[in-house]
């Protein structure tokens, strides 16, 4: 689905325009809307849009006239790319399928004046034994390294959402990041992702952000802390 949100009012000058390109990991709980809330509460001026059909890979976006038109015609400041959740954990798939699509989309975005940001997703709660990962941690390590490699190759910044999830799962297992399916984000997981992405895109301290998306109080404070640590470079897969 595509969700377009009105520009929020705080800052002066034209709104910073952000396009999220992904799938249900972006669409669940309206991640773009939660980013918009955080940006507005921080007195920044932004217009956040998401194009995130369920089940899509970046290769689907690279072949989509709608996605290509959105990137080409939207006058974006940032284009955020989010790949299918398992593909980055499988080296051959990442190399042969994900990277060519990411390269095509990032080249298109950069050619139209946008800065590309890669949305590092999280591993599945129970790993993915079918592709060789018995735990969240082992799957997250593979996903993270792929996104970081892509970031270097594409000269794109990586929003380390998966790192923040690892920190939260390790230190606050009482916080429910996952939807009951063990793959998609719950409301608190979407808030954590939004805090990382907002801090990355707007170069602000995640701990200074407010509440949003129905997450507040101690839980929101803790999640903002995990987001800040991840954005500052804490990498649990490399102790």
15-32 pLDDT, tens per residue? 999 999 999 999 999 999
For the chain, where are the E strands, in sequence order? 2-4, 16-21, 46-51, 78-81, 115-119, 157-159
Measure the CA–CA gap between 54 and 26, rounded to whole angstroms. Answer: 9
Convert the pLDDT of each residue in 170-211 to its tens digit: 999 999 999 999 999 999 999 999 999 999 999 999 999 999
Burial class (CB in 10 A: 0-12, 13-18, 19+), 117: buried
Percent of the chain residues past pLDDT 70, beyond the cut: 94
What pTM value is reported for the model? 0.94
In a domain, 236, yes or no: no
Residue 238 lies in a domain: no
Confidence of residue 238 (pLDDT cuts 50, 70, 90): confident
Domain interval for residue 111: 2-231
**Do the domain assignments include residue 239?**
no
- CATH assignment at residue 166: 3.40.50.1110
Q: How far apart are CA 94 and CA 177, in angstroms?
A: 25
Is residue 22 in a domain?
yes
Query: Structurally, how many domains does the chain consist of?
Result: 1
Is residue 171 one of the residues assigned to a domain? yes
């Amino acid at each position: 689905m595509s969700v377009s949100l009105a520009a929020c009012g705080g800052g002066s000058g034209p709104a910073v325009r952000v396009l999220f390109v992904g799938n249900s990991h972006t669409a669940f709980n309206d991640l773009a809307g939660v980013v918009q809330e955080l940006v507005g509460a921080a007195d920044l001026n932004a217009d956040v849009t998401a194009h995130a059909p369920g089940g899509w890979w970046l290769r689907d976006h690279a072949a989509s006239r709608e996605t290509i038109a959105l990137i080409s015609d939207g006058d974006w400041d940032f284009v955020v790319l989010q790949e299918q959740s398992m593909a980055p954990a499988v080296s051959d798939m990442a190399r042969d399928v994900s990277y060519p699509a990411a390269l095509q989309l990032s080249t298109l975005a950069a050619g139209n004046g946008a800065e590309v940001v890669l949305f590092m997703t999280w591993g599945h709660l129970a790993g993915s034994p079918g592709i060789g990962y018995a735990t969240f941690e082992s799957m997250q390590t593979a996903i993270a390294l792929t996104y970081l490699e892509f970031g270097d190759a594409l000269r794109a910044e990586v929003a380390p959402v998966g790192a923040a999830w690892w920190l939260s799962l390790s230190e606050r297992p009482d916080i429910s990041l996952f939807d009951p399916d063990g793959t998609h984000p719950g409301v608190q997981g979407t808030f954590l992702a939004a805090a990382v992405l907002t801090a990355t895109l707007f170069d602000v301290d995640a701990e200074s952000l407010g509440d949003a998306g129905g997450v507040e109080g101690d839980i929101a404070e803790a999640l903002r802390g995990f987001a800040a640590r991840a954005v500052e470079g804490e990498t649990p897969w490399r102790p």
